[in-house]
Amino acid sequence: MTETMMPLPWLASGDAFPPADTAWGAGTAAPGLLCAGADLSVGTLQRAYENGIFPWFSAGQPILWWSPAPRMVLEVDQFNLHPSLKKTLKKFARDPTCEIRIDSAFADVIQACALSPRHGASGTWIVPDMINAYIDLHHAGLAHSLETWVGGELVGGLYCVAIGGAVFGESMFYRQADASKIALAALVCLCRHHKISQIDCQQNTAHLQSLGAHEIPRAEFIERVQTLRQHPAINWQFQPLYWRELVTVRSDSA
């Protein structure tokens, strides 16, 4: 049975977001859609993420704000390190031409994510306004890139938002096999080192499931975010020793 959709609230700049639990539900045309309008300023984006809300829209659409239920998260202790990826990480960690860099090429990473083809989708939601907004968020210290470099070349990476210890994954890209997975594994290592329990993955995909992500109720997710954002901010520097627990202590079946 189709659920009745409530009128979509339209926000002016500076307006408060409606409660996340008023988002359109399952059975509607756009489950998780909360409101439209407002702006993509640093302050607006920070308020959104602090309340379990994120922007997602295509070219020609207004700014659309979402809070899906349930919410997909990767609990870092449940990261599924497949044997093939573990072998790749060990090789990567030993190779002096391979390195993880953080925030050395944020604009390049988000541009590459925007150009990365998506299975079953045409175009991109990382439109120019979003790129500019997240670059501003990066300059404010609230968005970060984890980058896979081989031989001095950027071959993959991801970008994320972080408020205190609340980490929100956004998008990944790769130009070599496993390069985006290496960047994600580095983010998992960084979170584990700083005792950050989860990475937000927003919505369910088979790929995220294969890496160990799972769904939790939206209310639980928002409660976790409220706790995690009080955590001291992560030191966004990657040390090669962070690989050690993941590739030598952690079992493949974990």
Report residues of the chain scoring pLDDT below 50.
1-2, 120, 122, 249-254
Amino acid at 71: R
| Extents of the domains making up the chain | 10-68, 72-249
pLDDT by residue (tens digit) across 77-87? Answer: 999 999 999 99
Residues 6+ apart with CB under 8 A from 243: 89, 93, 189
Q: What is the pLDDT of the chain when averaged over all its residues?
A: 93
Same fold, 10-68 and 72-249: no
The whole-number pLDDT of residue 115 equals 94
The topology under which CATH files domain 10-68 is Alpha-Beta Plaits (3.30.70)
pLDDT by residue (tens digit) across 56-67? Answer: 999 999 999 999
For the entire predicted model, the pTM comes to 0.93
CATH of domain 72-249: 3.40.630.70
The whole-number pLDDT of residue 1 equals 41
The whole-number pLDDT of residue 133 equals 98
The whole-number pLDDT of residue 254 equals 37
The whole-number pLDDT of residue 251 equals 42
The whole-number pLDDT of residue 76 equals 96
Task: With CA atoms as reference, report the closest residue to 17 among 42, 47, 57.
Answer: 47
The whole-number pLDDT of residue 248 equals 67
Sign of CA dihedral 2, 49, 200, 145: positive
The whole-number pLDDT of residue 34 equals 98
